[in-house]
Structure 1
């Protein structure tokens, strides 16, 4: 009887460990998605603010933002695909070496490795989608505002709110202090937008 109880307890503990591991994996993916969206937001908003410092027309800001969205999403997807595919090749090669040495016991090793292997296309798609979600925020906020300074203020304001939301979400998923993380993301986004706007204003005044 005692052996049965111990076996059940061991099985329960193993199940708990597996559940915790799965949760950790999901948290890492979600946190990566939040960070990708944050990158899309900051880079696109900064690009729009920078172009807006030189060209006040709404068309110029929208075109620059859309170009930044497309370029950033493609860059994120390609970079993630190359990185994850390299990791996949390394892990597959390791599985083959382990199988040849007989260290993982044939089928069991194949099942465990096959279930955990990286997925390059999935990672690339997720990165591109996350970046796009973040980049859409400043684009939509500026789309229907004709007045220049109002448009700049709306982009900065909406982007700030989104930065706080992304920072807080990333902190929750990463189990770090929410207020500190949100403030760090917000200040970093402000710095990027102000620096881009200021430098472009300086360069534009001398070139044009």
Structure 2
């Protein structure tokens, strides 16, 4: 009987067997997530700013200054926030891996038994679980323990720079949509056209975020669009109220 017949190859593939495992998958998902969230924030926050200013004045120059300032500040803030957040995650992953290295060095037998026990919890017999643990440990002990115990791939640690750049670029691109829309159209139609453009863009980012998180797309799109429209309505009303007093 081969290891294929025992199902050993599937077990050795780890907890995500059957899913794509091209190198750097974790990092690609990381910057994709940051990109989608960055674009969404760029759309909503910049739309809120320009709508608020448009509620107070029809002066294209004032809207442009406010929108560009909001775009620049938001993009840099998003990049810094993602960098700090993912750096903290990376530090935690590296600390856990270092702890695992020490345990493998100082207590190899206990670690082997622990790995086998984890496979028993996943439904393998004790004999097969021990065989799997021994073969994986002989091949790459740290990778075997890190994936099963910690859910970490030592060769694919999250990159804070990838997340920061993806977030900043995506925020900028998202912010350009409401900014350009409200500037290119005249005062009589700019509010309606901008609201429609933002709604479509938020539907796309809501769908994208749902796909990345494997959640229901319909509810995600609805929440995203309604939340964005609500934010624009509130800031427009505030701008309108303040504009009449200035």
Partner of 1:122: 162
Partner of 1:91: 93
Alignment of 1:163-174 (within 5 A): 163-174=202-213
- What are the Cα deviations for residues 43-78 of structure 1, in whole angstroms up to 9, with x where unaligned? 001100001111211122122111111111100110
Quick one: distance in 2 between partners of 1:110 and 1:70?
41
Quick one: distance in 1 between partners of 2:210 and 2:95?
35
Quick one: distance in 2 between partners of 1:156 and 1:200?
16
Identify the range of structure 1 (149-158 vs 113-122) with the bigger mean alpha-carbon deviation. 113-122
Displacement after TM superposition at 1:41 (Å): 0.2
Question: Structure 2 stretches of 5 or more lacking a match?
Answer: 112-136, 147-152
Alignment of 1:1-208 (within 5 A): 2-6=1-5, 9-12=7-10, 14-15=12-13, 17-18=16-17, 20=19, 22=21, 25=26, 29-101=31-103, 102=105, 108-109=141-142, 114-145=154-185, 147-206=186-245, 208=246
Quick one: distance in 2 between partners of 1:85 and 1:175?
25
Which secondary structure state, in structure 1, belongs to the residue aligned with residue 188 of structure 2? helix
Relative to 1, partners in 2 of residues 1:47 and 1:125: Cα closer, same or farther, differing over 3 Å?
same
- Going by fraction, where is helix more abundant, 1 or 2? 1
Displacement after TM superposition at 1:175 (Å): 2.7
TM-score relative to the length of structure 2: 0.72
Question: Structure 1 stretches of 5 or more lacking a match?
Answer: none
TM-score relative to the length of structure 1: 0.83
Q: Highest CA radius of gyration, 1 or 2? A: 2
Contact 1:33–1:127 (Cα < 8 Å) also in 2: yes
Relative to 1, partners in 2 of residues 1:79 and 1:52: Cα closer, same or farther, differing over 3 Å?
same
Displacement after TM superposition at 1:139 (Å): 1.9
- What are the Cα deviations for residues 8-65 of structure 1, in whole angstroms up to 9, with x where unaligned? x422454483552749845565344222211110100110000111121112212211
Quick one: distance in 1 between partners of 2:30 and 2:94?
22
Displacement after TM superposition at 1:6 (Å): 2.7
Quick one: distance in 1 between partners of 2:239 and 2:183?
21
Displacement after TM superposition at 1:108 (Å): 4.4
Contact 1:85–1:119 (Cα < 8 Å) also in 2: yes
Query: RMSD over aligned Cα, in angstroms?
Result: 2.8
Relative to 1, partners in 2 of residues 1:11 and 1:33: Cα closer, same or farther, differing over 3 Å?
same
